[in-house]
Amino acid sequence: MTPVLGIDAGTVRVGLAVSDPTCTIATPLTTLRCDRPAALWQGIATALTEHAVDRIVIGLPRQLDGDEGAAAEMARRFGDEVASRTDIPIEWWDERFTTQAAERSLISSGLRRARRRQVIDAVAAALMLQSWLDAHPSTMDRGCAG
């Protein structure tokens, strides 16, 4: 089986997470800064290569009513750029509340504010990817190659 890469794209940072090879558990991978485009794209390329993923799931920040707003537009533009740089299939997944859930989890674990800021986007990406994995329990549905 092949892992799946989860991306939580923000305006300041991009969080990456990866599933295990059985596509069961998502783990935070890294956080990349948007103000360093070369490092951002190199970091994504490195994750794709190192983990040999067969699918990318990008978080789509929908509004409370389910509509797509400015943040979703930005995420879709980012996804288009990812698609132009790779031939790996991309899927979109609703990522409402993942950053808030990540923040609560990191606070409850006792992480200091400065450290939380460094890892929150990767944790949010892992929460989003885990939600996608949980909604696709069959490896046939996910397209995880065996």
* 143 belongs to a structural domain: no
Residue 14 lies in a domain: yes
pLDDT at position 70, please? Answer: 87
Phi, psi (rounded to 5 degrees) for 9: -90, 120
Residue 115 lies in a domain: yes
pLDDT digits (tens, 9 = 90+) for 31-81: 999 999 999 999 999 999 999 999 999 999 887 787 888 888 999 999 999
Q: What CATH number has the domain bearing residue 29? A: 3.30.420.140
Give the pLDDT mean for 104-129.
72
Q: What angle do CA 12, 36, 78 make, to 5 degrees?
A: 60
Domain that holds residue 63: 4-138
Would residue 144 count as lying in a domain? no
pLDDT band with cut points at 50, 70 and 90 for residue 140: very low
Q: Is residue 146 part of a domain?
A: no
pLDDT digits (tens, 9 = 90+) for 93-115: 988 656 666 566 656 666 566 65
Count up the domains in the chain and report the number: 1
State the Cα–Cα distance between residues 26 and 24, nearest whole angstrom. Answer: 7
pLDDT at 137 over 90: no
Distance CA 98, CA 12 (A): 16
Is 37 a domain residue? yes
pLDDT of residue 99: 64
In a domain, 112, yes or no: yes
Q: Is 4 exposed, middle or buried (0-12, 13-18, 19+ CB in 10 A)?
A: buried
